[in-house]
Structure 1
């Protein structure tokens, strides 16, 4: 496996005057053999960044490299493969499962017998019977289709897999088995993966690192347990506050509620820090903090960091009620974390 790196990547659509910058100056590294979870609300640019990595979205500025080689230079093979969100539309309904998987196999696997054997091996890898190769997608459940999508991505022998909200279109009862499969494949194949989700419980279950995205920019990055146990950016805290569990949310204590305003228009993002109109510790709550309106905070760099002028200043600390160094621990485990399932449980 290889290291996937985004270096100051921007993706723009439309004209300069009326267009949309969906991804703005994003720098992010997916280390070899690691899973990086990319989280953020709808419209933050997560899927656009993923599509840019596989060549489906135009890169306006910057570069995406795989071990230092620009991904756009790969012509005959695609070392970065993607598993899409909707398994019902990502498979050709007129092709059998075997044909869909075989289409992605490398050219060095020659002969119908060798290709059928490789398809059977891949189906076994995702815990499906080899005779499923003769089925059409319409005969399979949502969970089975997503397993086929995983097998097809792995058929191309990728160096990096991008998984874009792969459980959001599935029933809750099926999501756990698919996530367990991804975790098993990661350990068995030493996968390098960019895993995109809005569900922080899922990201916590699978990822080594977390990157938080808001209005096209990365606002926080760091090791999973560090980000979830002591979030430095107020937007990350809002996401944690919104993640439900039996105990309420993923935070042990509640921060101040975000300012009650409409989300910003991505066509005309706010000046300075893009989160400042909604920020509970920004100028909407503290008028003396006009720096958030005037200047954009430095983007995260290094192994961990947050793009916030007052990073680490928790909402309660901003009111002077607790020391700013006090961390906010997680509850012991979110109830929404999928439990391991037996290998023969297939949905």
Structure 2
């Protein structure tokens, strides 16, 4: 098994004056582990995933798999992406068996019987009846389609799997079953996985490590239980505070902590603010607390490597109101 490494990866659209969707992201998905990538819509999570599999242009930096730039790998890369929408990720004209067989590729398994057996094995692996192989996507539910999409990704025998919001389009009643399946398959096959979601409870359930993304950058990363119980960046704390919970006290940010700014709209990604990108929304930043003008002029990403959780916050070690998410939370 090998590590997936994003080495100062940037993705830009429209030239220098266009949009920088991903800005100098450094992130490692260790071999055999699950990294949960969280952040609100528009933070660049899906763009980073698409860059890894060659669907988005890498403007600078490198995506490495086992130390090799993925752009130099053969067409059949040991890296697969499961898309968010199960209703658009499968060709409606192809049967389930045909879609999975296409992903196996020509010449990998000799003979139709061997390919049919492999399709049946993969369907059983994702807890679907092999008889579903003759059906088309339109005959399946959303949860069943997502299982087929997972089986199709596994047909390429990847070393690394990227799951991009794979439960967000599913009914709540189905999400838990799909998450259990993903975790079971990952452990059974020993896959490395980048699991992308905006749902912190989901990420906590499946992840060994957590990375938090805001406006194209990673602002905090570390072991899941540490990031979600001792967050160092105000944005992580705000995400936790906004997470739905039957026990709101688990996400209480403290009555004496300013929080009015946190509800502001995100900054324009075409024109990100100088200094700390989160300062326009930060409840403990210069718009709320005096003496924090440093956030207006200095980029906190420069010294992040020397702070707990590599937090891109000048005052990360001054946070005095820990926020927690239940270790037993699930979708």
Flag whether TM exceeds 0.5 (same fold).
Answer: yes
Equivalents in 2 of 1:143, 1:228: separation in Å?
Answer: 28
Equivalents in 2 of 1:196, 1:114: separation in Å?
Answer: 34
Equivalents in 1 of 2:67, 2:226: separation in Å?
Answer: 28
| Structure 1 residue 68 displacement after superposition | 0.3
Is the contact made by 2:241 and 2:323 (CA closer than 8 Å) also made in structure 1?
Answer: no
Q: Which residue of structure 2 aligns with residue 164 of structure 1?
A: 164
Matched, 1:114 2:105: no
Q: Which residue of structure 2 aligns with residue 53 of structure 1?
A: 52
Equivalents in 1 of 2:326, 2:124: separation in Å?
Answer: 37
Equivalents in 2 of 1:157, 1:245: separation in Å?
Answer: 37
Equivalents in 2 of 1:108, 1:230: separation in Å?
Answer: 47
Equivalents in 2 of 1:49, 1:286: separation in Å?
Answer: 34
Q: Which residue of structure 2 aligns with residue 35 of structure 1?
A: 34
Q: Which moved more, 1:301-310 or 1:173-182?
A: 301-310
Equivalents in 1 of 2:68, 2:215: separation in Å?
Answer: 28
Unaligned runs of 5+ in 2: none
TM superposition outliers: structure 1 runs of 4+ over 3 Å: 252-256, 299-303, 326-334
Q: Which of the residues 303, 315, 318 maps onto 1:310?
A: 315
Q: Which residue of structure 2 aligns with residue 257 of structure 1?
A: 259
Matched, 1:301 2:305: yes
Q: RMSD over aligned Cα, in angstroms?
A: 1.6
Is the partner of 1:78 in helix, strand or coil? coil
Equivalents in 1 of 2:201, 2:326: separation in Å?
Answer: 12
| 1:279-298 matched pairs, under 5 angstroms | 279-298=282-301
Is the partner of 1:144 in helix, strand or coil? helix
The TM-score with structure 1 as length reference comes to 0.90
Is the contact made by 1:243 and 1:249 (CA closer than 8 Å) also made in structure 2?
Answer: no
Matched, 1:181 2:184: no
Is the partner of 2:175 in helix, strand or coil? helix
Unaligned runs of 5+ in 1: 315-323, 339-347
Is the contact made by 1:244 and 1:250 (CA closer than 8 Å) also made in structure 2?
Answer: no
Matched, 1:11 2:14: no
Judged with a 3 Å threshold, the aligned counterparts in structure 2 of structure 1 residues 59 and 249 are, in CA distance, closer, same or farther, namely farther
| 1:305-344 matched pairs, under 5 angstroms | 305-314=310-319, 324=320, 327-331=322-326, 333-334=328-329, 337-338=330-331
Is the contact made by 2:241 and 2:253 (CA closer than 8 Å) also made in structure 1?
Answer: no
Equivalents in 2 of 1:141, 1:179: separation in Å?
Answer: 16
Is the partner of 1:104 in helix, strand or coil? helix
| Structure 1 residue 251 displacement after superposition | 2.2
| Structure 1 residue 186 displacement after superposition | 1.3
